[in-house]
Amino acid sequence: MRLFIAIEIPASVKKELAVAQGRLRVAGVDASWSRAEGMHLTLKFLGEVTDQKVPEIMSSLQKAAEGIGPLGLSVSGIGAFPNPKNARVVWIGLAGDIEKLTRLQVAVENAMVLLNIAREERKFTPHLTLGRIKYIRSSDRWLKTLEEIKDISLPGFEVTSVSLMKSELKPSGAVYTEMGRAELQ
């Protein structure tokens, strides 16, 4: 099964993310948009993992979560990778306890490496992917919309746990199921 470790985003924030996506959907681009109800902050993608390895992963995840404590995060600022004019990915940023979040991500990464799961080589950049841009039909409208909402700020939320998630790819889109949860202590 295909697994990853993530922080769940509260439903109230997902609802606001859908509103922001709504503005971008009519901004002159063709894109595949992330489903707001499935949005999460991925800390570590594990790939294909056997059922037998799940208890070991959960034990290591709980140890990684110890000593971190709850995090206060908020969602703010919209941007695009690699840049707005040549956007391929449109994202919304995270603010708040980013230093603690980064310590958590490093602890999770190190714990999974001890289980022989390959280390992620890319630097961790906390963000939520709103969509993947296929084609910019109207550059002026796209850039104007990004400029109008670039300073968006959504309500903050507290993170008290991190989840082991299963991802199943279906014709209707990815389905995510929580396999276990480690409390941030």
Q: Which of 5, 43, 126, 127 is catalytic?
A: 127
Neighbouring C-alpha atoms within 13 Å toward the C-beta of 1: 17
How many Å apart are CA 49 and CA 70, to the nearest integer?
A: 28
Q: Which of 3, 27, 31, 40 is catalytic?
A: 40
- Which residues are paired to 79 by β-bridges? 91
| Token reading at 66 | 């110890």
Give the containing element (helix H, strand E) for 6: strand 2-8
CB atoms within 10 A of CB 102: 14
| Token reading at 5 | 């470790």
> Would you call 151 a catalytic residue per the annotation?
no
> Would you call 144 a catalytic residue per the annotation?
no
Q: Which residues are catalytic?
A: 40, 127
